[in-house]
Amino acid sequence: MSIQTINPATGKIEKTYVEFSKEEIKNSINYAQQAYLKWKETDINQRSRLMKNAASVMKNKRDEYAYIITTEMGKPIEQAIAEVEKCAWVCEYFADNADRMLTKEKIDTDASESYVEFNPLGVILAVMPWNFPFWQVFRFAAPSLMAGNVGLLKHSSNVPMCALAIEQIFINAGFPKNVFKTLLIGSEPVKDIIKDPRIKAATLTGSEPAGRKIAEACGKELKKSVLELGGSDPFIVLDDADLDETASIAVKARLINNGQSCIASKRFIVVEKIYESFTEKFVNAMNRVKIGDPMDESVELGPIAREDLLYELDSLVKDSVSKGARILTGGKVLPGRGFYFAPTILDNLSKGMPAYDQEIFGPVASLIKAKDEEDAIRIANDSPFGLGASIWTKDIIKAKRMATEIESGCVFINGMVKSDPRLPFGGIKNSGYGRELSHYGIKEFVNIKSVWIK
């Protein structure tokens, strides 16, 4: 079996790799376990030095890594550069803060002394997606490796160049061999890898169906899992928002990463008092977006990552329209080479339409009218997902109250939803469970151990 890199901007096969054999997978797990036995004993100051080296490697080769990202999954090159820079930041953040986060916590009890300590678990399997092919990996790897775990990466099969480049970053940074290892495999071997007793936990960022499979496999083996799955994030616009600014940001919030982001805003919930005015500004701003070669620094929207995903997106839009949705702009596959879909806005939406119920992964915005802020909260929560949300208003007191009522892992007031190493990241409902980043994230893959002394 082979794994291929297909450039989504051209449809051209860039590279082909041979999948790992069962023997290679077995050996990789063996080597990872051996590496763990030494790595867990490595002083955290040494781990920190190496993690900062990894950040320096990325900074020094930023443009090279960005080129690989754009070649494999098609995001605009400026966004790819920003992704590499963010990965360097997360490495530096945990290098600087992991020691503090993992310090023994003294607890007053009836003992002479009692405390909680945080010990690494072992070999962690990371099953990662293609849409942020560096960031998704590093936001797992930086805290996990700093905690003393080692990582095995099963990356998405359409980004093998990224997967191998990430492994090489850790090698170039001076990490011991096999502390972080890429497995060039498809999805089929994952269940058996989780069964291996040396694998202590698994983390997945990906689709809801993939999350269910990982959760089932880990559940059968009584192993910890963290899942960051899909989202259909609401972008709520109240009647006192600056409509020109908000409409402009709404386009960016939907089209970031070519619309292929779990935390991209997808449902634009606008109160009826300003609905028509916002809609006009939103459509005009969407129509000004520059589409083209993602290697061009001026391009704002590149291709869909794979051909099958392009036509799946097209099918969801057509299904929604057949059920009564209205296309305000876009709504079609663009002609020519590459996997391009026109930036799209749909309205007249209702339950039962994919554009209302499902996560639409691509440059398609769902525009929904709300009677008032209470109705906007109801619509925002009328979703199986609960990853992120944003609220746009000048009334911060009202926004804070609304934030408490919205069912999601995070709420951003007057800002686009984003991940930040300093804040916990993750979702509820069908968006998954567990948290990444911050001190909450680093403690997902440790043994939280109580010690009591008389």
What is the rounded CA–CA span in Å between residue 241 and residue 219?
46
**CA neighbours within 13 Å on the CB side: how many for 79?**
24
Whether 409 and 427 have beta carbons less than 8 Å apart is answered as yes
Q: CA separation (Å) from 333 to 16, 318, 340?
A: 27, 11, 6
With a CB cutoff of 8 Å and minimum separation 6, the contacts of 141 are: 126, 151, 153, 166, 170, 180
Burial 214-228 (b: 16+ CB within 10 A, else e): bbebbeebebbbbbb
388-392 and 385-386 strand pairing: unpaired
Task: Select which of 72, 92, 228, 300 is catalytic.
Answer: 228
CA-nearest of 276, 398, 291 to 347 is 276
The DSSP output letter for 321 is H
Rounded to the nearest 5 degrees, what angle is found at the Cα of 266, between the Cα atoms of 62 and 289?
60
Q: Give the 3-state secondary structure of residue 292.
A: coil
Laid out side by side, the sheet with 388-392 consists of: 326-329, 344-347, 364-370, 265-271, 233-237, 388-392, 410-413
Task: Select which of 72, 262, 359, 436 is catalytic.
Answer: 262
Active site residue 228: yes
Phi and psi (nearest 5°) for 74? 90, 5
With a CB cutoff of 8 Å and minimum separation 6, the contacts of 293 are: 9, 299, 302
Active site residue 262: yes
CA-nearest of 363, 346, 308 to 75 is 363
Q: Which residues are catalytic?
A: 228, 262
